[in-house]
Amino acid sequence: MADIEADGRPATAQATIQAQPRRRHFWRDKGPAIAVAVGIILLWQAIVVGFSIPTYIAPSPIQVAQVFLEQGDVLWINFWPTLLEAAAGFLVGNTVAVVLAIWFVHSRLAERAFYPIAVFINTIPIIAVAPILVLILGNGYAPKIVIAALICFFPTLVNMVRGLKAVSPEMLELMRVLSASPREVLFKVRLQSSLPFLFAALKIASTTCVIGAIVGEWIGSNYGLGSLIIEATYNFRSPLLYATVVLGAGLAVAFFSLTSLVEKRVLTWKTQDVH
């Protein structure tokens, strides 16, 4: 016989009842985006077929899907280097930004000396920095990781500095009255207040790190999604080009989704009206 729950319902029936609100919640949150995505794909297919657009200019979604089936090995071989470069750049760039932000908050002299340098570096187009890094570091993983780190660095630095300073004077006065050390103020007050700012920056960095890795591969590389984009463009392999772009976009979306998931797990105290 089926297991009976405390309310008298069979366990399978109880599980089904509990799953229904979750399904409704999923479709309420994700349904509009899924519908828009499907609509865009259908519109894309209709335009390509209706206007008889040549494949070398714009392939249909069906032709792009065929690339994933027929040349999936090529895509995946080039996917993993880009994934490694983007993830390493994300980790390095954000770690350096957080450390510098903590230093700036505790040293006004360091902030006045190095913050303008960080702003200046951020004003240089990444496409101009990439060839210099390739010349210095070679064609290996290092320049791509540095480029991905640079493109993540500044937004996190700005948001983290602001977050660490976003502590009410009353809270700082309370910690002073309680004889809290600077270390205790940092870990128990400043870092807690900075977390919403930090995750806002990490969401931006989670997508831009992929852009940085691909840009680095454009400049000098024989592997990676960036290199595959260049090769497909020059050889008029339009379906492969579109498939590579879709795969790169999917990687960025995966990073963003993972960052959002971690945010929900960490910021459990955040109010519901703050998104």
Cα-only R_g, the chain:
24
Q: Within a 13 Å sphere around the CA of 182, how many CA atoms are in the beta-carbon half?
A: 5
Residue 42: other Cβ atoms inside 10 A: 11
Question: Are the beta carbons of 172 and 188 closer than 8 angstroms?
Answer: no
pTM over cut 0.85:
no
Q: In residues, how long is the chain?
A: 275
pLDDT in tens, the chain (275 residues): 445 555 555 555 554 555 566 666 666 777 787 888 888 889 988 988 888 888 888 898 999 999 999 988 999 999 999 999 999 999 999 999 999 999 998 888 998 999 999 889 888 888 888 888 888 888 888 999 999 999 999 999 999 999 888 887 778 777 777 777 788 888 888 888 889 999 999 999 999 999 999 988 888 778 899 999 999 989 889 999 999 999 999 999 999 999 999 998 988 765 444 44
93 in Cβ contact with 152 (< 8 Å): yes
- Reference 65, options 242, 231, 254; nearest CA is 242
Residue 269 backbone zone (phi > 0: left; psi -120 to 50: alpha; other: beta): alpha
| Rounded distance between C-alpha atoms, residue 98 and residue 155, angstroms | 11
Q: Positive or negative, the Cα torsion across 95, 98, 104, 106? A: negative
Q: Which domains does the chain have, with CATH numbers?
A: 1-53 (no CATH), 61-266 (1.10.3720.10)
Please, are residues 214 and 229 in contact by the beta-carbon 8 Å criterion?
yes
